[in-house]
Amino acid sequence: MAIPSLHVVVSSTRPGRIGPPIAQWILGYAREHGAFEPTLVDLAAFNLPLIDEPHHPRFRRYQHAHTKAWSKSVNEADAFVFVTPEYNYGPPPALLNAFDYLYSEWHYKPAGFVSYGGVSGGMRASARAGMTASTLKMMPIPESVALPNVFAQVKDGVFDANELNIAGAGTMLSELSRWEEALRNLRAQHRATLAREG
Protein backbone atom coordinates (compact mmCIF):
# COMPACT_ATOMS: atom_id res chain seq x y z
CA MET A 1 0.00 0.00 0.00
CA ALA A 2 1.16 3.53 -0.82
CA ILE A 3 2.43 5.67 2.02
CA PRO A 4 -0.60 7.55 3.43
CA SER A 5 -0.97 11.15 2.45
CA LEU A 6 -0.93 13.90 5.06
CA HIS A 7 -2.22 17.36 4.24
CA VAL A 8 -0.66 20.13 6.31
CA VAL A 9 -3.25 22.89 6.04
CA VAL A 10 -2.31 26.55 6.51
CA SER A 11 -5.54 27.81 8.08
CA SER A 12 -4.90 31.55 8.25
CA THR A 13 -5.33 33.51 5.04
CA ARG A 14 -4.67 37.15 5.91
CA PRO A 15 -1.78 39.17 4.39
CA GLY A 16 1.20 39.16 6.74
CA ARG A 17 0.16 35.90 8.44
CA ILE A 18 2.74 33.79 10.24
CA GLY A 19 1.03 30.47 9.46
CA PRO A 20 3.26 29.52 6.48
CA PRO A 21 6.60 29.31 8.37
CA ILE A 22 4.99 27.20 11.09
CA ALA A 23 3.43 24.94 8.46
CA GLN A 24 6.83 24.61 6.72
CA TRP A 25 8.34 23.44 9.99
CA ILE A 26 5.74 20.73 10.67
CA LEU A 27 5.83 19.71 7.00
CA GLY A 28 9.60 19.20 7.18
CA TYR A 29 9.30 17.37 10.47
CA ALA A 30 6.59 15.08 9.06
CA ARG A 31 8.94 14.20 6.18
CA GLU A 32 11.64 13.22 8.68
CA HIS A 33 9.14 11.32 10.82
CA GLY A 34 8.37 9.10 7.83
CA ALA A 35 4.87 7.75 8.54
CA PHE A 36 3.24 9.98 5.91
CA GLU A 37 3.76 11.56 2.53
CA PRO A 38 3.14 15.18 3.55
CA THR A 39 1.82 17.94 1.26
CA LEU A 40 1.42 21.61 2.08
CA VAL A 41 -2.10 22.88 1.46
CA ASP A 42 -2.52 26.65 1.69
CA LEU A 43 -6.14 27.64 2.26
CA ALA A 44 -5.39 31.10 0.86
CA ALA A 45 -4.56 29.55 -2.53
CA PHE A 46 -8.12 28.20 -2.84
CA ASN A 47 -9.60 31.66 -2.40
CA LEU A 48 -12.84 30.31 -0.97
CA PRO A 49 -15.51 32.99 -0.53
CA LEU A 50 -17.96 32.64 2.33
CA ILE A 51 -19.80 29.45 1.46
CA ASP A 52 -21.75 30.10 -1.72
CA GLU A 53 -23.00 26.66 -2.75
CA PRO A 54 -26.78 26.29 -3.08
CA HIS A 55 -26.94 22.63 -1.98
CA HIS A 56 -25.91 20.88 1.22
CA PRO A 57 -22.39 19.52 0.67
CA ARG A 58 -23.52 15.95 1.38
CA PHE A 59 -25.04 15.91 -2.14
CA ARG A 60 -21.70 16.91 -3.72
CA ARG A 61 -23.60 18.90 -6.37
CA TYR A 62 -20.99 21.62 -6.46
CA GLN A 63 -21.58 24.61 -8.72
CA HIS A 64 -18.31 26.46 -8.40
CA ALA A 65 -14.77 25.74 -9.57
CA HIS A 66 -13.35 26.78 -6.20
CA THR A 67 -15.49 24.17 -4.42
CA LYS A 68 -14.52 21.44 -6.90
CA ALA A 69 -10.82 22.26 -6.44
CA TRP A 70 -11.19 22.20 -2.65
CA SER A 71 -13.15 18.94 -2.77
CA LYS A 72 -10.43 17.31 -4.92
CA SER A 73 -7.72 18.40 -2.50
CA VAL A 74 -9.49 17.17 0.65
CA ASN A 75 -10.43 13.91 -1.08
CA GLU A 76 -6.77 13.14 -1.69
CA ALA A 77 -5.82 13.29 1.99
CA ASP A 78 -5.70 10.34 4.38
CA ALA A 79 -4.99 12.56 7.40
CA PHE A 80 -4.62 16.23 8.26
CA VAL A 81 -2.56 18.55 10.37
CA PHE A 82 -4.31 21.90 10.68
CA VAL A 83 -1.90 24.72 11.43
CA THR A 84 -4.16 27.25 13.10
CA PRO A 85 -3.87 30.55 14.92
CA GLU A 86 -6.30 31.65 17.61
CA TYR A 87 -8.60 34.53 16.68
CA ASN A 88 -10.74 35.76 19.56
CA TYR A 89 -10.41 32.44 21.39
CA GLY A 90 -11.49 30.48 18.33
CA PRO A 91 -10.18 29.25 14.98
CA PRO A 92 -10.03 31.64 12.01
CA PRO A 93 -13.36 31.88 10.17
CA ALA A 94 -11.46 30.84 7.01
CA LEU A 95 -10.90 27.39 8.51
CA LEU A 96 -14.51 26.92 9.65
CA ASN A 97 -15.70 28.11 6.24
CA ALA A 98 -13.40 25.61 4.52
CA PHE A 99 -14.78 22.86 6.79
CA ASP A 100 -18.36 23.81 5.94
CA TYR A 101 -17.81 23.69 2.17
CA LEU A 102 -17.51 19.89 2.16
CA TYR A 103 -18.90 16.90 4.00
CA SER A 104 -18.09 13.35 3.01
CA GLU A 105 -14.59 14.28 1.81
CA TRP A 106 -13.61 14.72 5.48
CA HIS A 107 -15.01 11.43 6.75
CA TYR A 108 -12.89 8.90 8.66
CA LYS A 109 -9.69 10.95 8.49
CA PRO A 110 -7.70 11.70 11.64
CA ALA A 111 -6.71 15.29 12.34
CA GLY A 112 -3.96 16.80 14.45
CA PHE A 113 -3.56 20.47 15.27
CA VAL A 114 -0.55 22.74 15.47
CA SER A 115 -1.97 25.84 17.13
CA TYR A 116 -0.29 29.11 17.95
CA GLY A 117 -0.93 32.46 19.54
CA GLY A 118 -0.18 34.28 22.78
CA VAL A 119 -0.06 32.66 26.22
CA SER A 120 -2.69 30.05 25.36
CA GLY A 121 -0.72 28.73 22.37
CA GLY A 122 -3.97 28.69 20.40
CA MET A 123 -5.39 25.79 22.40
CA ARG A 124 -8.89 27.29 22.50
CA ALA A 125 -8.81 27.51 18.70
CA SER A 126 -7.85 23.86 18.24
CA ALA A 127 -10.40 22.71 20.84
CA ARG A 128 -13.19 24.55 19.05
CA ALA A 129 -12.08 23.51 15.57
CA GLY A 130 -11.96 19.92 16.81
CA MET A 131 -15.67 20.04 17.68
CA THR A 132 -16.53 20.91 14.08
CA ALA A 133 -14.03 18.38 12.77
CA SER A 134 -15.69 15.56 14.70
CA THR A 135 -19.11 16.61 13.36
CA LEU A 136 -17.63 16.01 9.90
CA LYS A 137 -16.53 12.52 11.05
CA MET A 138 -12.89 13.41 11.31
CA MET A 139 -11.07 12.08 14.36
CA PRO A 140 -9.43 15.08 16.07
CA ILE A 141 -6.70 13.45 18.13
CA PRO A 142 -5.92 14.77 21.61
CA GLU A 143 -2.18 14.93 20.98
CA SER A 144 -1.64 18.40 19.56
CA VAL A 145 1.19 20.91 19.42
CA ALA A 146 0.52 24.29 21.05
CA LEU A 147 2.98 27.11 20.40
CA PRO A 148 2.61 29.84 23.07
CA ASN A 149 4.07 33.29 22.43
CA VAL A 150 4.95 32.06 18.99
CA PHE A 151 6.07 35.48 17.75
CA ALA A 152 9.43 35.11 19.49
CA GLN A 153 10.14 31.95 17.49
CA VAL A 154 9.46 33.35 14.02
CA LYS A 155 12.39 35.28 12.59
CA ASP A 156 12.91 36.29 8.96
CA GLY A 157 10.09 34.03 7.81
CA VAL A 158 11.42 30.91 9.56
CA PHE A 159 9.97 29.16 12.61
CA ASP A 160 12.68 28.12 15.05
CA ALA A 161 11.33 25.02 16.86
CA ASN A 162 12.47 24.21 20.39
CA GLU A 163 12.90 20.74 21.93
CA LEU A 164 9.42 20.77 23.43
CA ASN A 165 7.84 21.61 20.05
CA ILE A 166 9.77 18.82 18.36
CA ALA A 167 8.87 16.25 21.04
CA GLY A 168 5.19 17.25 20.78
CA ALA A 169 5.25 17.01 16.99
CA GLY A 170 6.72 13.51 17.16
CA THR A 171 4.06 12.31 19.61
CA MET A 172 1.27 13.85 17.54
CA LEU A 173 2.45 12.36 14.23
CA SER A 174 2.98 8.89 15.70
CA GLU A 175 -0.50 8.91 17.18
CA LEU A 176 -1.96 10.34 13.96
CA SER A 177 -0.37 7.46 12.09
CA ARG A 178 -2.00 4.91 14.44
CA TRP A 179 -5.41 6.48 13.87
CA GLU A 180 -4.84 6.65 10.12
CA GLU A 181 -4.20 2.92 10.07
CA ALA A 182 -7.16 2.15 12.36
CA LEU A 183 -9.54 4.16 10.16
CA ARG A 184 -8.24 2.82 6.84
CA ASN A 185 -10.95 0.21 6.45
CA LEU A 186 -13.73 2.71 7.16
CA ARG A 187 -12.25 5.11 4.60
CA ALA A 188 -12.04 2.35 1.98
CA GLN A 189 -15.68 1.35 2.52
CA HIS A 190 -16.73 4.99 2.41
CA ARG A 191 -14.78 5.67 -0.82
CA ALA A 192 -16.36 2.58 -2.42
CA THR A 193 -19.85 3.81 -1.47
CA LEU A 194 -19.13 7.25 -2.91
CA ALA A 195 -17.79 5.70 -6.14
CA ARG A 196 -20.98 3.59 -6.48
CA GLU A 197 -23.14 6.68 -5.94
CA GLY A 198 -21.09 8.55 -8.59
Ligand X SMILES: Cc1cc2nc3c(=O)[nH]c(=O)nc-3n(C[C@H](O)[C@H](O)[C@H](O)COP(=O)(O)O)c2cc1C
Query: Would you tell me which residues interact with ligand X (CB under 6 A)?
Result: 12, 14, 17-19, 85-89, 117-118, 120
Contact in structure between 107 and 184 (CB atoms under 8 Å): no
Residue number of the CB closest to ligand X reads 117
Q: By C-beta, is 34 or 118 nearer to ligand X?
A: 118
Task: Find the shortest distance in angstroms from Cβ 129 to ligand X.
Answer: 13
What is the β-pairing status of strands 110-116 and 37-42?
Answer: unpaired
Inter-residue contact 112 to 173 (CB < 8 Å): yes
Q: How far apart are CA 3 and CA 7, in angstroms?
A: 13
Nearer to ligand X, 88 or 197 (CB): 88
Which CB, 60 or 124, lies closer to ligand X? 124
Q: How far is the CB of 25 from ligand X (least distance, A)?
A: 13
Instruction: With beta carbons less than 8 A apart as the criterion, state whether 11 and 116 touch.
Output: no
Give 38 or 91: the residue with its C-beta nearer to ligand X. 91
CB of 163 to ligand X, least distance (A): 22
Least distance from C-beta 12 to ligand X, angstroms? 3
- Is residue 135 classed as helix, strand or coil in its secondary structure? helix
Nearer to ligand X by Cβ, of 14 and 178: the residue is: 14
Smallest gap, in angstroms, from Cβ of residue 32 to ligand X?
Answer: 23
Burial class (CB in 10 A: 0-12, 13-18, 19+), 56: exposed
DSSP letters for 136-186: TT-EE-S--EEETTGGGGEETTEE---HHHHHHHHHHHHHHHHHHHHTHHH
